[in-house]
Amino acid sequence: MTKSGHAPHTHPTSDFTWLAPPGTREDEFPNVRGRLAGLVSKPLSDPIYSAKHRSIYLAEDEILGRVAIKEVRHENAMRRFWFRTVRSRHALREFRVGSGFAARGGRAPEFFGAALDCDLLALRRVIVFIRWLDGVETLTDYLRRHSEEPPDEMFDRIGESLVAAARLGLIHGRHSSDNILVESSGEEPVFYTIDFAYSRLNSGFDEAGFVRDVARIAHWLWHEKVCSDAALERFFERVAQSAWPEQRTTRSRSKQMLVELERWKRLLAKGPAGQERRERTT
Residue 199 has pLDDT above 90, yes or no: yes
Number of domains in the chain: 2
Average pLDDT over residues 261-282: 65
- What's the rounded Cα separation, in Å, for the pair 134 and 233? 32
Across 3-17, 22-36, 127-141, 155-169, least confident range: 3-17
Residue 180 has pLDDT above 70, yes or no: yes
6 domain-assigned: no
CA-to-CA dists, residue 6 to 37, 51, 56, 200, angstroms: 19, 9, 10, 29
Residues 215 and 274 in one domain: yes
Residues 163 and 195 in one domain: yes
Residues 36 and 169 in one domain: no
Average pLDDT over residues 218-237: 96
- What's the rounded Cα separation, in Å, for the pair 159 and 163? 6
Q: What is the DSSP letter of 14?
A: G
Contact 215, 260 (CB under 8 A): yes
- What's the rounded Cα separation, in Å, for the pair 173 and 135? 26
25 domain-assigned: yes
> Which stretch, 39-43, 91-95, 223-227, has highest mean pLDDT?
223-227
User: Any idea what the CATH number is for the domain that residue 193 is in?
Assistant: 1.10.510.10
Residue 76: its pLDDT value, please?
Answer: 63
Name the domain boundary from 131, 160, 195: 131
User: Any idea what the CATH number is for the domain that residue 33 is in?
Assistant: 3.30.200
Residues 106 and 143 in one domain: no
Average pLDDT over residues 190-215: 96
Average pLDDT over residues 21-42: 93
pTM score of the predicted model? 0.87
Residue 91: its pLDDT value, please?
Answer: 66
**pLDDT averaged over the chain?**
87
Q: What is the residue range of 212's domain?
A: 137-279
167 domain-assigned: yes
Model confidence at 220, pLDDT cuts 50, 70, 90, reads very high
Give which of 134, 132, 192, 187 is closest to 162, Cα–Cα: 192
Residues 118 and 234 in one domain: no
